[in-house]
Structure formats: structure tokens, C-alpha cells
Structure 1
Amino acid sequence: MAADQSAPTALVLGGGAVEVIRSLQLAGIPTAVVSTPSDPSKHSTYARSIFTWDWSQELDKHDEALADRLVAWALTQPKAPVIFYSSDQALIFVSRHRDRLSRGFRFAIPDADLVEAMVDKGLFANLADRMSLPVPATKLISPEQAAAGVPDLSDLGYPLIIKPERRDRSWRDIKDTDEIKVKALVVESAERLREMWPTVATLGHTLVAQQYVLGAESEIESYHVYADETGEIIAEFTGKKIRTYPVSCGFTTALAITDVPDVLNMGRKLTEQLDLRGIAKFDFKRSPDGELLLFEINARTSLWNHPGARAGVNIPAVVYADLTGRPRPVMAAHPRPVTWVHPKDILAARASGESMRSWAWFALRSQAKAFWNWRDPGPFLGMAISRARSGDFT
């Protein structure tokens, strides 16, 4: 859909912005981006790049000077732009500088304390305990405890997972035995814990040890929601991972938009319980007995917004409408089945034993594809050129 250039601009902050741009493009919303230097979203013909910014820097680098720079740009626009944030760093930046940014922008964001708790896994563990959220058994390990020696985690049972309070550059230097970066480390036994402890203990962060919920990554399901300033749920859908890379504790490479009643009901219940406002994604894993266990909440836009929009629930579009006083677009009461695929899914499919013929047919039939759009090939080509130059094809 052609963008209405007389409408306020939607400004997307953070890495991985291209899938958010796709959802805004489908609604005909003019879009700009402040992406990372390596993010291919800046090559999109549907989004003008204001400037690039390294969102992976330490949080104190995203300071008042950056906020003032953005506000100065916003004040040159005919109408106040709408901010969307597509990474945790961008979310925290907007939350911590919300008063300053509100001088030039419009945005929807949860309460500041709730934002901090959703981004920091240590704070989230405390929030979950305080509010009796349905999370797996969890223990926090302070840097001092980590330095004192290998902790006794036998009460969590094995296997378990270890993850940092926040994934930053130091965590990205941690690799598993296959030398592949992962979201969390799976620890199969006390012996394995002793082997890896000298490495993870030096990170200097609070570590989160959590009971591992048995089952494939395809048992991970999610609830996606937008609640307006009164707390009313305006748009929602559910989703399910198909594959990740790496296969265990990896990043999503294929997913499906679903319409699953118990996930909807659990998501609605938690949205109300947390008194949440704005956009959020609740991640659950279904245990072998069918119970939904909550892993994390992300209060930001994400790659799921693109397939969600193609399924009939364009969450960024309805947020934009509310913030700009425009009529809300119609949201499907029951989203259409849609699958989304990332180029790296070919690696995930191969690792899981799927034939290349079967994978090619799946990818061809997927209604949403990461990076690729026939009318906007720039992000895909930019990604391919960047990886070719770096030699990173994994």
C-alpha cells in the first residue's frame, strides 16, 4: 500500500526493524528508521534512514544527547512522529527518557518500573515471585555468589538453563560446545555445570538459573497484545515457533500465527494482572502435561508484527491510529493462518533433519518472509552483501 505522505511519520528505533517496517508498509504509514549500522532496514525504500546508531552499546550510551538529537529532528516534522521500538535497548531508552522525548514524539509505553522488570531477567524473576506468575522454578545468582564457586542447583533439577539478566556484548562472547551463539545455555548435569562455570562466572552479571521445560522449541507459544491507555485489549493474536537456530535455545527462524484459546486466555489474564499498557509479547512453553509456563515478556514491537499483520492483526497500525487520532483499522477476530520464514531457517531445517525439498516447499508457501519483498528488495540484498563481506553465513 502506498504511504500517505501527509500523515505523521512512524519512527522505528532499534535493531531488527525491517519486520516492523513491513507491518507499517502494509498499512500505508510513512516510516523512518534509526537502525544499527549493520541492520538492513536502512536499505528499505519504504523507510528513510534518519541516522544509524549502535543500539548494542551499554545503556548509559543511549543518553540525553541522543534523546535531544531525536527531538530536534521531530520538531522539524510537520506533525509529531510516532515512536516504535524494536529492541530492548531502544525500549529502555524511550522509557528512561520518556519525558524528554514526549516534547516531540507520540508513543505508547508501559509503566517505567514494569519496563525495567520485563527487560532485566533478575527483576522479572522477582516480579514473577511477587505476583505469582506461572514461571518455571528459578534461582538468581549474584556476581559475588558466582565468583565464590559453582552453586548447588540440584533443587531445580537437570537439565536446567543459565541465562544473563540482560543479553549484552559480554554474553554474546559466550558460546556453547558447538560454537554457536544462543539465548541461554542448557546445562545437562552437575558435571557440565562445573565445566562451564569458570567462563560464565567471569561475566560480572547476575545470572538466572531456571528449570528446563522439556520439549522441542516448537512447544514455545506466544501471546501478542496491544492494550490502550485505559487497559482495554484492542488487538491480539497468538503464535507458535516452528524452528529456531540453533535448534535448542536459539533464535526464531520459522513461525506460525495461530488462534489458540488457552494461550489467548492466559495472555489476557496476565495483561490484566500486570495492568499493562501498550504492546507486549508473552512467551510461554507448553510442558509435557500441557501446562503453559511463562518465560519472558517483551514490551516492544518485534518480527512477529509482520506475519501478524498479514494474518489480519496489524498491531503497530492500530497503535499508530490511537496515537494520531485516526480511525482504528479493523482487526481480525480470528487471524488467518500465516507462516513466516527467515533465510537462516534452511540451517535450522537441515539441523533438525528435514529434507531440503520439504523445506523449499515450506519457504515458498510462507506468506511472510524475513527481509524479502519483491517491491522492496533492498533489505534482503543489504543483508546478503553484509554477510558476504564478513564471511558470516551462519
Structure 2
Amino acid sequence: MALDRTALPIALVIGGGAIEVVRSLQMAGLPCSVVSTPSDSTKYSSKVNSVFHWDWTQPLEAHDEALADRLVAWARAQAEPPVLFYSSDQALLFTSRHRDRLGRGFRFAIPDAELVEAMADKALFSTLAERLSLPVPATTILPPDPGAEPPDLSELGYPLIIKPERRDRGWRHIADAGGVKVKALVVDDEARLRAVWPELAAMGRTLVAQQYVDGPESAIESYHVYADATGEVVAEFTGKKIRTYPVECGFTTSLSITEEPDVLHAGRKLVELLDLRGVAKFDFKRAPDGRLLLFEINARTSLWMHPGARAGVNIPAAVYADLTGRPRPALAVHPRPVTWVHPKDLLAARDSGVSYPRWAAFAARCQATAFWSWRDPMPFIGMAMARVRTGDFS
């Protein structure tokens, strides 16, 4: 029997890249609205109401009380308090910092405010990791010092990676690999550090230098979890990147849902250690000796929600059920193997030496595809048309 969508509270997704979270909610038959970036093709969906557009890449101070009040006014106009999901770091921090105000109109699950700040800021996360003895690579915090000489990072050893305490527009300008955005800069030696340092120092931002863990991006594995208000792990699955674009320190273009016992064990231990509540993704990289080293924790929904739901673990639907007092959906104890692919994976495959026919055969076998749905094709078509208009195929 189909759900009566009009009788259900609305799920509102805020932040960039909302479409993959929306897809998981749609699979559960839940009504969705979004407040996404102007360039986010989620707005083209025939099954989603776009409340308004907001540029979530703006500095954090732009996401202020006025925005919170605007959202609460919309929420109070609904028949029932909507359920709020946040799908980007900026949206997470906005929700956390204005949780009391937003709580007047919304229902949402979120970790403790201090923990959110520590997970969203890589410098604070380094301090948290040291205090709790988390299994992270050796790290050095580089305070802002425009005009300073390059620091001595020989103790970390080369190669190493440098990343900002929080990615924003300024970092995207710096971290440009031939016109392609990267998450971090790989610094192979001291000469490379000296070459990039003037531009890094000019940012006037705290930076994080971290020991590079040898291995491809496919060695990055993750634990995805929803822990309820009591701390009980309600839903979980593990995953592994297949490719990223660019190939090194890039953004995920294809992935697989897995069932790795050591990743599950490591993730559960961290949930208990952190006394975590809400949704989180723990990113590990498997070192050549098999150890799992923790890179970061993202306490928000992400593109992994869609393939996870396809595998039988619909985390957003479980959160929605708990917050609205409805029965939880069936959640697979042993997730099905699912592969997800993004259109940019064609470029990632090309740069990895995979032929176009081999990639096409791989993509055809994938059970989940970014943007695409036969029942709701417009987000994919809108994204493709926008690429054609701008000429941005990177």
C-alpha cells in the first residue's frame, strides 16, 4: 500500500549536493524539500519542492540568525514540524550553531555542539585525536603567518599532505590541479613546499600538515552510521572508494558498499569513544601493512546515503522514523553489494588508464548512479545542460 505523502512531515535537506540524500528519502516514499545551492541540479527534480536557493559555500558568518529565522518561518507554516537534514559541512555547522533557534520549527538529530566543531575543523580534530589517542596519521598544525618562511616539516617526513582547517572558496582557489579541484595538496619534498608556500601563507589561514599514507584512493574505506538519542547504533554499513577525480586527493566518482569486519569494528569503537549521536561518516585509509588510519569524521548526510539505501541500509529513513515517532524501516544486517557511479568517473577512469568500453561496461553494471533516475531524470539532464552551457567538463 502506497504511503499518503501529504500526511507525512516534510524532510528538508539543506546544503550542497542534496540529490543523493533526496534519492534515499524518495526510496522510502517520504516528501522532500530542499534549500540547495543555485547550481545544485536537485532543484530540477519533479518530486522535490525547492524552498529557496542559498549559497552554502559562503563564509560561515553569512549563515546567520536571519537565515535560521527564515527557515523556521517556513517550518512553522507546515502542517507538522519538518525533519531537517544537512548535507554539507557549512550546513552542519549552521544547524549546530543555531540549534536552539532551528529547534523551534524543526526536528533533527545532531551530535553535541563541541563535538561538531571538533569534527568540522581539522585543526580542532587534530587536538581531539591526540586527546583520545585516535588512530590518525602524524599531524602538525600550521598557524596563520602571512609572509613567513616555509616551516620545517622534516619530522613528518615526505611526502606529506597539506589541507586547510576547513575547505571554502579560498581553498578551492589554491588547490587547483590543472583546473580541477582537489581536497588536499600532496607535497613530495621540501622544494615543492617552498614553491607552494607563499600562496598558502597568503591565505592567512590555519593549515594542517599530515603524514602521507601510501596507497591509491581506492585504499580509502569508510564507516557510515546512525546512532539514536540513546547512543544505540541503529544503522550502519561500510564502503570503499573505487576512483576519485582527480586521481589523487580528488572527490569520489565511484564507490562500493562493502561489509568489512575490521572497518565495522573500528567504526563502532569510535562511536562509543566519542559518545556519538546522529549520523556520521568515518574515513579511514588502509596502510600497506593493513592498519586502518583515521583521516576525518563527517557528522552529516552525504552522497553515500543513496547507495547505502540501495544496499538495504537507508540511514535518512531511519532518522526520519525516529524523529517522527514512526516505525523504523527494515534495515539489512548484511548490506547487499552495491556500486555507485558519478558521470565524472569517466574522466577518473580515463586518467587511471581504463578504456572507454571497459568503463561503459562498469557503469552499466552499477546499481546506483549519481543524479540519474528513470522516474525522475531531470536532475541529471539539468546537470548535463549546465555543463554544456559553461563548458565545464572537469
TM-score under structure 1 length normalisation:
0.98
Shift of 1:175: 3.7
Q: What does the per-residue CA deviation read over 1:190-229, in whole Å, with 9 as the maximum and x for residues that have no partner?
A: 1111111111111111000000000000000000000000
Q: What does the per-residue CA deviation read over 1:355-387, in whole Å, with 9 as the maximum and x for residues that have no partner?
A: 111110110110000001011011111111111
Amino acid at match of 1:385: M
Count of matched residue pairs: 393
Contact 2:136–2:295, Cα closer than 8 Å, also in 1: yes
2:369 corresponds to: 369
- Secondary structure of the residue aligned to 1:178 is coil
**Distance in 2 (alpha carbons) for counterparts of 1:355 and 1:332:** 35
Shift of 1:117: 0.6
1:131 corresponds to: 132
2:239 corresponds to: 239
Amino acid at match of 1:127: L
- Secondary structure of the residue aligned to 1:283 is strand
2:121 corresponds to: 120
User: Pairwise mapping of residues 80-229 of structure 1 onto structure 2 (< 5 A)?
Assistant: 80-144=81-145, 147-176=147-176, 178-229=178-229
Question: Which 10-residue stretch deviates more, 292-301 or 168-177?
Answer: 168-177
- Secondary structure of the residue aligned to 2:166 is coil
Amino acid at match of 1:120: D
Amino acid at match of 1:252: T
**Distance in 2 (alpha carbons) for counterparts of 1:195 and 1:371:** 39
Contact 2:161–2:209, Cα closer than 8 Å, also in 1: yes
Contact 1:3–1:25, Cα closer than 8 Å, also in 2: no
2:58 corresponds to: 57
- Secondary structure of the residue aligned to 1:235 is strand
The answer to whether structure 1 residue 15 and structure 2 residue 19 are counterparts is no
Shift of 1:388: 1.4
**Distance in 1 (alpha carbons) for counterparts of 2:279 and 2:246:** 27
1:263 corresponds to: 263
- Secondary structure of the residue aligned to 1:158 is coil
Shift of 1:2: 6.5
- Secondary structure of the residue aligned to 2:393 is coil
TM-score under structure 2 length normalisation:
0.98
Q: Return structure 1 stretches of 4+ with deviation > 6 angstroms.
A: none
Q: Kindly tell me: are residues 9 and 147 of structure 1, through their superposed partners in 2, closer, same or farther at Cα, counting changes over 3 Å?
A: same
**Distance in 2 (alpha carbons) for counterparts of 1:324 and 1:199:** 49
Q: What does the per-residue CA deviation read over 1:232-263, in whole Å, with 9 as the maximum and x for residues that have no partner?
A: 00000000000000000000000000000000
Contact 1:95–1:115, Cα closer than 8 Å, also in 2: yes
**Distance in 1 (alpha carbons) for counterparts of 2:46 and 2:157:** 51
- Secondary structure of the residue aligned to 1:230 is coil
Q: What does the per-residue CA deviation read over 1:45-81, in whole Å, with 9 as the maximum and x for residues that have no partner?
A: 1211000001011111111111111110111100110
Shift of 1:177: 5.2
**Distance in 1 (alpha carbons) for counterparts of 2:176 and 2:159:** 15
Shift of 1:176: 4.5
1:295 corresponds to: 295
Q: What 5-or-longer segments of structure 2 have no aligned partner?
A: none
Amino acid at match of 1:260: E
Contact 2:387–2:393, Cα closer than 8 Å, also in 1: yes
- Secondary structure of the residue aligned to 1:194 is helix
Shift of 1:328: 0.6
**Distance in 1 (alpha carbons) for counterparts of 2:123 and 2:359:** 38
Shift of 1:3: 6.3
Shift of 1:179: 3.6
2:273 corresponds to: 273
Amino acid at match of 2:209: A
**Distance in 2 (alpha carbons) for counterparts of 1:343 and 1:3:** 34
**Distance in 2 (alpha carbons) for counterparts of 1:193 and 1:331:** 47
Q: Kindly tell me: are residues 393 and 177 of structure 1, through their superposed partners in 2, closer, same or farther at Cα, counting changes over 3 Å?
A: closer
Contact 2:175–2:184, Cα closer than 8 Å, also in 1: no
Amino acid at match of 1:78: A
2:328 corresponds to: 328
Shift of 1:275: 0.4
Amino acid at match of 1:60: E
